[in-house]
Amino acid sequence: MGGNPKVANNKPEDQKLARGNLALKNSMDARTPVRVIFGRQTLKASNTSGESSKYIYDGLYTVSNYWQERGPYGKIVYMFRLNRIPGQPKLTRKIESKVKKPKACFERCVLDDVSQGKEKMPMRAMNAVDNAKPPPFTYITSMIYTECYDPSMLSGCNCIDECSDSKKCSCAVKNGDEIPFNNSGAIIKSNPIVYECGPSCKCPPSCRNRSSQRGVRYQLEVFKTESTGWGVRSRNFISSGSFVCEYVGELIREKEAKERTGRDEYLYDVGNGCDDTEDSFTIDAAQYGNVGRFINHSCSPNLYAQNVLYDHDEKRMPHIMLFAAKNIPPLRELTCDYNMNHVCNVSDGIKMQNCCSGSPGCTGRML
């Protein structure tokens, strides 16, 4: 901060506790972290002359101490000790010689609310890769049934006390005499089908056996990934077993899904899986969907899909509820295993797609 004749072309002189020096001292006094950016001189390309500077962000530091020293010209310089705040991701200080594609330096919000005001909390779309926004679709929070089912056929439980006696609750009885959720609403174990209490039941909405019907309660956001398009992450910690979101879309017959060519990215086969029968159903979230449509595949996923019935009894068309399969730290991408029975190609039988998740145990194949 001054006094260096190599920089300012002046006579060497004592530095003062002013400008940047004072700012660092103030940061130390106020215990305010500073962002450190390394500057490097690199040779310019051969067709231009001289050197150019590159700047590399290195994270947040605290200033712990400062003192004066005699510099190389015998004049006073201010020295500062900076300590990198622990817990930040390691950042490379290497300068890449070839930059493949221009990248935005900082992540920015490209859409304030993907849910178009339909979720309890706005759901931002963030992008640090390019300037694109997520392609448009209509956000819905509950399934669209194009096929009729008869909800009046559904029999509910008669409990009035939040289904505390699982032997008396007819819904819990269908789950093997137990409510598959703990007191915090986390699922205890996965089941082929979980029967939750629903609109035909006498129990109140606070009943423990309605865990996946309360909508998205984490601050989810959509973000652009490096290699798998848009993905989803949570700004909050998600504990193992917690309900995250439903995979919502239009429920159509598999036969119709086959006719909807060119948009199989967002198809999810339900009930009978991918059997090519007239009776199989598929959720199509291409045009109508929720945040679930952005969840990518991983060979070591942190979510799993649970079939749930509560507002109808039709086992061929269960709700697809996504629960945390493990504790998930904030900002970690939320993923599920498509091979379990996610999007199944309907135009040519079996679809093989390369998996780009790079996750541990990755098979290299998505379907």
Binding site for ligand SAM (CB under 6 A): 228-230, 265-266, 293-294, 296-298, 343, 355-357, 366
Nearest to ligand SAM of 305, 366 (CB atom): 366
Nearest to ligand SAM of 193, 356 (CB atom): 356
Shortest reach from residue 254's CB to ligand SAM, in Å: 17
CA distance 295 to 300: 13
Q: Amino acid identity, residue 177? A: D
Shortest reach from residue 167's CB to ligand SAM, in Å: 40
Cα-Cα-Cα-Cα dihedral sign, residues 212, 215, 221, 226: positive
Nearest to ligand SAM of 212, 290 (CB atom): 290
Shortest reach from residue 28's CB to ligand SAM, in Å: 45
Shortest reach from residue 26's CB to ligand SAM, in Å: 44
Task: Give me the DSSP letters along 74-92.
Answer: SSEEEEEEEEEPTTSPP--
Shortest reach from residue 90's CB to ligand SAM, in Å: 24
Nearest to ligand SAM of 201, 299 (CB atom): 299
Nearest to ligand SAM of 216, 366 (CB atom): 366
Nearest to ligand SAM of 122, 229 (CB atom): 229
Phi/psi of residue 307, each to 5°? -70, 130
Nearest to 220 by CA among 140, 331, 320: 331
Shortest reach from residue 237's CB to ligand SAM, in Å: 23
Helix runs in the chain, H state only: 5-8, 19-30, 170-174, 254-259, 338-341
Long-range residue pairs from 74-82, CB within 8 A, at least 24 positions apart, any chain = 74/12, 75/3, 75/12, 75/13, 75/14, 75/15, 76/3, 76/14, 76/15, 77/3, 77/15, 78/1, 78/15, 78/17, 78/21, 78/24, 80/21, 80/24, 80/28, 82/34, 82/36
